[in-house]
């Protein structure tokens, strides 16, 4: 049975017309649409009957569309593009409604989340997660997030906190750097070392000065330093053997486990703050279950991690 909108011809007739005009022949149009040439001719003839005009000059070796046929074909193509755009927008909006968005700093993603991510997908194959990241863990675009991993004391309105872990901070270096270093892993002096530093004056981020005071190794004036605005780049530089880094041991645990960095002798400082998973308070139903699954998985990963630091994360029952 023909399918029509009120006052319009069968839409198959319009599709056939547009294909013939664009492809240049009934044969080519039939090939593109996967039907017979007879079917195309029949639909075009049906449209001509409805309109009461001839849309093609069939007296020549090749059919020639009339001006009316060209205009109709253009309108059909334009309408199809608009319809496709609307359908794509609806699909995208539906997908966004089901996709969980997680924010984390680039270093947290690279060194903590990424090595574990395959385990999450293996246990939750139906969850679709969108990851947002930047070099600053304390400046998330909360308007786009369902969850955000933040270190420190910042609070996110409209989110509830779920503590993940507290870290321990101490000096690390690559095996090559240690092999070249006078004294190896023993830290009796820092005078000949290159100290890799994060460009931050935040007291929540212990720096070399604080560590050196704790270790009883005051830094001499003019100590050689290399400064980075991204902790991930700093760790990459340490892996390349460019100097000593302040290693956040749980943050970079997989790097230490693989031997790409090693811990040097000396005290470790407890981080002043926790890594907090901030969870949006009100999440639409399609995503709520996936958000719960991701929160539970991250807490389970923290529990499975070696106890390098104190942790006060609540159970799911407390949430």
pLDDT in tens, 96-116: 556 888 999 889 999 999 999
pLDDT in tens, 77-100: 888 888 888 776 765 555 455 688
This prediction has a pTM of 0.65
| pLDDT at position 157 over 50 | yes
Q: Are residues 39 and 117 in the same domain?
A: no
Strands (E), 9-158: 56-57, 64-65, 100-105, 129-134, 147-151
Q: Are residues 177 and 137 in the same domain?
A: yes
| pLDDT at position 138 over 50 | yes
In a domain, 4, yes or no: no
Mean of the per-residue pLDDT values for the chain?
85
Q: Are residues 112 and 41 in the same domain?
A: no
pLDDT in tens, 45-85: 998 898 899 999 888 778 889 999 899 989 888 888 888 88
Please report which confidence band the pLDDT of residue 306 belongs to, taking 50, 70 and 90 as the band edges: low
Q: Are residues 161 and 229 in the same domain?
A: yes
| pLDDT at position 211 over 60 | yes
Q: Considering only 17-21, 210-214, 231-235, 311-315, which range has the smallest mean pLDDT?
A: 311-315
Please report which confidence band the pLDDT of residue 318 belongs to, taking 50, 70 and 90 as the band edges: very low
| pLDDT at position 124 over 90 | no
The residue range of the domain holding 270 is: 99-319
In a domain, 3, yes or no: no
Residue where a domain stops, chosen among 47, 70, 96:
96
- For position 118, which CATH number holds? 3.40.190.290
DSSP output for 72-112: HHHHHHHHHHHHHHHHHHHHHHHHHHH-EEEEEEHHHIIII
Q: What is the DSSP letter of 316?
A: G
Residue where a domain stops, chosen among 96, 118, 136:
96
244 phi, psi to nearest 5 deg: -90, 140
Residue where a domain stops, chosen among 96, 131, 147:
96
């Amino acid at each position: 049975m023909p399918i029509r909108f009120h006052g319009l011809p069968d839409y198959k007739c319009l599709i056939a017309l547009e294909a013939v005009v664009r492809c240049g022949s009934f044969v080519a149009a039939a090939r593109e649409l996967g039907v017979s040439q007879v079917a195309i001719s029949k639909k075009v003839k049906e449209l001509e009957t409805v309109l009461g005009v001839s849309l093609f000059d069939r007296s020549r070796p090749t059919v020639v569309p009339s001006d009316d046929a060209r205009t109709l074909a253009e309108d059909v193509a334009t309408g199809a593009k608009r319809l496709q755009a609307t359908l794509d927008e609806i699909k995208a909006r539906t997908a966004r409604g089901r996709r969980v968005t997680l924010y984390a700093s680039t270093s947290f993603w690279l060194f903590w989340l990424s090595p574990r991510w395959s385990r999450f997908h293996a246990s939750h194959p139906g969850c679709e997660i969108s990851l947002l990241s930047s070099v600053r863990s304390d400046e998330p675009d909360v308007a786009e997030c369902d969850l955000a991993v933040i270190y420190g004391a910042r609070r996110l309105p409209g989110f509830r906190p779920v503590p993940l872990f507290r870290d321990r901070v101490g000096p690390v270096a690559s095996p090559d750097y240690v092999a070249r270093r006078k004294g190896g892993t023993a830290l009796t002096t820092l005078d000949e070392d290159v100290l890799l530093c994060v460009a931050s004056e935040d007291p929540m981020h212990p720096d070399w000065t604080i560590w050196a005071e704790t270790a009883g190794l005051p830094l001499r004036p003019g100590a050689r330093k290399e400064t980075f605005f991204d902790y991930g780049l700093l760790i990459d530089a340490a892996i390349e053997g460019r100097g000593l880094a302040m290693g956040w041991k749980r943050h970079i645990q997989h790097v230490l486990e693989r031997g790409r960095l090693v811990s040097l002798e000396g005290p470790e400082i407890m981080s002043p703050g926790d890594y907090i998973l901030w969870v949006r308070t009100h999440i639409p139903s399609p995503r709520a279950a996936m958000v719960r699954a991701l929160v539970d998985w991250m807490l389970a990963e923290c529990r499975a991690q070696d106890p390098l630091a104190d942790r006060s994360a609540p159970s799911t029952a407390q949430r």
